[in-house]
Amino acid sequence: MTSTDVPHALTVIGLGEMGSALAAAFLDGGHPTTVWNRTPRKAAALVAKGARQVSTVADAVAAGPLLVVSVKGNTAVREVLEPAGAALAGRAVLNLTDGTSAEARTTADWFTDRGAEYLHGQIMTIARPSGTRTPWCSTAAPRRCTTASAPCWSWSAAGGA
């Protein structure tokens, strides 16, 4: 992060291998990062790095304007976030869960119906850009949503995931 960058608070939901790596990279980039996982002990290393762990998904959603979701499958995304209910309104959600295009559209509609801005991302960990340790991530969403959350993606300059 450069001196002109402003840290942005965000939440990472799902602390498997990719979610944990992303949360660590956000922390390394200077972003205040809240974490939540269905298995709370998975947050220990991130808390030691400075992450704030919360005990409910509703608290995770309420913690900031941007949610980065990395769980296994779009059905799990909706099941995990259902308890957050109305707290999703006004949030930007970057869903990095794999699945089909139809599943991504269904999940996008689910978030939009709850008042959230939806970004769908795909992390390509096999085909990394030449000369970097950073995985390549592509996103698709309305421009107003990607523009609002773009400053958070400076994590890649901090060494990536």
- CATH number for the domain harbouring residue 144: 3.40.50.720
Is residue 2 in a domain? no
Is residue 1 in a domain? no
Is residue 114 in a domain? yes
Which pLDDT does position 146 carry in this prediction?
47
Which pLDDT does position 6 carry in this prediction?
67
- In terms of C-beta density within 10 A (0-12 exposed, 13-18 middle, 19 or more buried), how is residue 42 classed? middle
Determine the average pLDDT of the residues in 128-134. Answer: 48
- pTM here is 0.80
The whole domain housing 34 covers 10-158
Is residue 98 in a domain? yes
Is residue 147 in a domain? yes
Which pLDDT does position 7 carry in this prediction?
75
- When mean pLDDT is compared across 15-24, 56-65, 116-125, 131-140, the lowest value belongs to 131-140
Query: What distance in Å separates the CA atoms of residue 11 and residue 137, rounded to the nearest whole number?
Result: 18
Please tell me the total count of domains within the chain: 1
Is residue 15 in a domain? yes
Which pLDDT does position 8 carry in this prediction?
83
Per-residue pLDDT tens digits for 69-112: 999 999 999 999 999 989 999 999 999 988 888 999 999 999 99
Instruction: Point out which residues pair with 94 in neighbouring strands.
Output: 68, 119
Is residue 4 in a domain? no
Is residue 41 in a domain? yes
One-character DSSP codes across 51-91? PEE-SSHHHHHHT-SEEEE--SSHHHHHHHHGGGGGGGTT-
Which pLDDT does position 138 carry in this prediction?
47
